[in-house]
Protein backbone atom coordinates (compact mmCIF):
# COMPACT_ATOMS: atom_id res chain seq x y z
CA UNK A 1 0.00 0.00 0.00
CA UNK A 2 2.91 2.35 0.70
CA UNK A 3 4.18 2.01 -2.86
CA UNK A 4 0.73 2.56 -4.40
CA UNK A 5 0.13 -0.96 -5.71
CA UNK A 6 -3.61 -1.74 -5.92
CA UNK A 7 -4.89 -4.66 -3.87
CA UNK A 8 -6.04 -6.53 -6.99
CA UNK A 9 -2.54 -6.52 -8.47
CA UNK A 10 -0.99 -7.44 -5.13
CA UNK A 11 -3.42 -10.35 -4.68
CA UNK A 12 -2.65 -11.63 -8.17
CA UNK A 13 1.12 -11.31 -7.66
CA UNK A 14 1.10 -13.08 -4.29
CA UNK A 15 -1.55 -15.64 -5.33
CA UNK A 16 -3.72 -14.66 -2.38
CA UNK A 17 -7.28 -13.51 -1.97
CA UNK A 18 -8.18 -9.89 -2.49
CA UNK A 19 -10.78 -10.05 0.27
CA UNK A 20 -8.12 -11.31 2.70
CA UNK A 21 -5.91 -8.36 1.84
CA UNK A 22 -8.86 -6.00 2.35
CA UNK A 23 -9.48 -7.46 5.83
CA UNK A 24 -5.78 -7.20 6.72
CA UNK A 25 -5.64 -3.59 5.52
CA UNK A 26 -8.75 -2.66 7.52
CA UNK A 27 -7.33 -4.34 10.64
CA UNK A 28 -4.00 -2.56 10.16
CA UNK A 29 -5.67 0.82 9.76
CA UNK A 30 -7.82 0.22 12.82
CA UNK A 31 -5.25 -1.20 15.25
CA UNK A 32 -1.80 -0.99 13.73
CA UNK A 33 0.61 -3.87 13.37
CA UNK A 34 -0.63 -5.45 16.62
CA UNK A 35 -4.05 -6.00 15.03
CA UNK A 36 -2.46 -8.35 12.47
CA UNK A 37 -1.21 -10.78 15.12
CA UNK A 38 -3.14 -14.04 15.21
CA UNK A 39 -5.86 -14.01 17.82
CA UNK A 40 -5.63 -16.64 20.51
CA UNK A 41 -8.88 -18.55 20.85
CA UNK A 42 -10.62 -18.15 24.20
CA UNK A 43 -10.01 -20.98 26.62
CA UNK A 44 -13.04 -23.16 26.87
CA UNK A 45 -13.57 -25.20 29.95
CA UNK A 46 -15.94 -28.03 30.46
CA UNK A 47 -19.50 -26.77 30.47
CA UNK A 48 -20.82 -29.73 32.39
CA UNK A 49 -22.44 -29.02 35.73
CA UNK A 50 -19.89 -29.68 38.54
CA UNK A 51 -22.33 -31.89 40.44
CA UNK A 52 -22.86 -33.97 37.31
CA UNK A 53 -19.09 -34.37 36.90
CA UNK A 54 -18.87 -35.60 40.50
CA UNK A 55 -21.77 -37.99 39.84
CA UNK A 56 -20.07 -39.40 36.73
CA UNK A 57 -16.78 -39.83 38.63
CA UNK A 58 -18.63 -41.61 41.43
CA UNK A 59 -20.27 -43.96 38.97
CA UNK A 60 -16.93 -44.72 37.33
CA UNK A 61 -15.37 -45.57 40.69
CA UNK A 62 -18.20 -47.85 41.83
CA UNK A 63 -17.80 -51.61 41.91
CA UNK A 64 -18.39 -53.53 39.78
CA UNK A 65 -17.11 -51.06 37.21
CA UNK A 66 -19.93 -50.09 34.83
CA UNK A 67 -19.30 -49.52 31.14
CA UNK A 68 -18.97 -45.99 29.81
CA UNK A 69 -22.27 -46.44 27.97
CA UNK A 70 -24.04 -47.35 31.22
CA UNK A 71 -22.48 -44.34 32.96
CA UNK A 72 -23.61 -42.14 30.06
CA UNK A 73 -27.20 -43.41 30.28
CA UNK A 74 -27.39 -42.84 34.03
CA UNK A 75 -25.78 -39.40 33.74
CA UNK A 76 -28.18 -38.38 30.96
CA UNK A 77 -31.14 -39.47 33.06
CA UNK A 78 -29.88 -37.57 36.09
CA UNK A 79 -29.11 -34.44 34.04
CA UNK A 80 -32.59 -34.45 32.54
CA UNK A 81 -34.27 -35.03 35.89
CA UNK A 82 -32.37 -32.20 37.59
CA UNK A 83 -32.58 -29.75 34.68
CA UNK A 84 -28.84 -29.68 33.95
CA UNK A 85 -27.45 -29.40 30.42
CA UNK A 86 -27.27 -32.72 28.62
CA UNK A 87 -23.89 -34.46 28.43
CA UNK A 88 -22.46 -36.23 25.41
CA UNK A 89 -20.92 -39.67 25.42
CA UNK A 90 -17.52 -38.20 24.55
CA UNK A 91 -17.72 -35.87 27.56
CA UNK A 92 -18.51 -38.80 29.83
CA UNK A 93 -15.62 -40.75 28.31
CA UNK A 94 -13.20 -37.85 28.85
CA UNK A 95 -14.30 -37.52 32.48
CA UNK A 96 -13.90 -41.26 33.10
CA UNK A 97 -10.50 -41.50 31.40
CA UNK A 98 -9.32 -38.37 33.19
CA UNK A 99 -9.60 -40.00 36.60
CA UNK A 100 -6.42 -40.57 38.56
CA UNK A 101 -5.18 -44.13 37.88
CA UNK A 102 -4.30 -44.61 41.54
CA UNK A 103 -7.82 -43.74 42.59
CA UNK A 104 -9.25 -46.15 40.01
CA UNK A 105 -6.94 -48.92 41.25
CA UNK A 106 -7.91 -48.26 44.85
CA UNK A 107 -11.63 -48.25 44.03
CA UNK A 108 -11.68 -51.36 41.84
CA UNK A 109 -8.86 -53.56 43.09
CA UNK A 110 -8.53 -52.55 46.73
CA UNK A 111 -5.93 -51.19 49.09
CA UNK A 112 -3.47 -54.06 48.61
CA UNK A 113 -3.29 -53.56 44.85
CA UNK A 114 -2.90 -49.81 45.35
CA UNK A 115 -0.13 -50.32 47.88
CA UNK A 116 1.72 -52.78 45.62
CA UNK A 117 1.47 -50.50 42.60
CA UNK A 118 1.84 -46.97 43.91
CA UNK A 119 3.61 -46.91 47.28
CA UNK A 120 7.33 -46.23 47.00
CA UNK A 121 8.35 -48.82 49.58
CA UNK A 122 7.03 -51.63 47.37
CA UNK A 123 8.58 -50.33 44.15
pLDDT tops 90 at residue 116: no
CATH number listed for the domain at residues 50-122: 1.10.10.60
Q: How high is the pLDDT of residue 55?
A: 96
What are the residue boundaries of the structural domains of the chain, listed by start?
7-36, 50-122
Q: Give residue 44's pLDDT.
A: 73
Average the pLDDT over 97-117 and give the result: 92
- Residue 90, pLDDT > 80, answer yes
Cis check: omega of the bond before 64, within 30 degrees of 0: yes
Query: What pTM does this model have?
Result: 0.61
Vertex 26: Cα angle to 24 and 30 (nearest 5): 115
Q: Name residues whose C-beta falls within 8 Å of residue 114's C-beta, 6 or more positions apart in sequence.
A: 102, 105, 106
Per-residue model confidence (pLDDT) at position 40: 83
Confidence at 123, pLDDT banded by 50, 70, 90: low
Tell me the pLDDT tens digit for each residue of 35-85: 888 888 877 766 789 999 999 999 999 989 999 999 999 999 999 999 999
pLDDT score of 12: 84
CB-facing half-sphere around the CA of 78: CA atoms within 13 A: 17
Amino acid sequence: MESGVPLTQLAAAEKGGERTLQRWLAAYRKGGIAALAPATPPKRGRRTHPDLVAYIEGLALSTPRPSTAAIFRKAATTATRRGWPMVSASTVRSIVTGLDPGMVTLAHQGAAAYRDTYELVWR
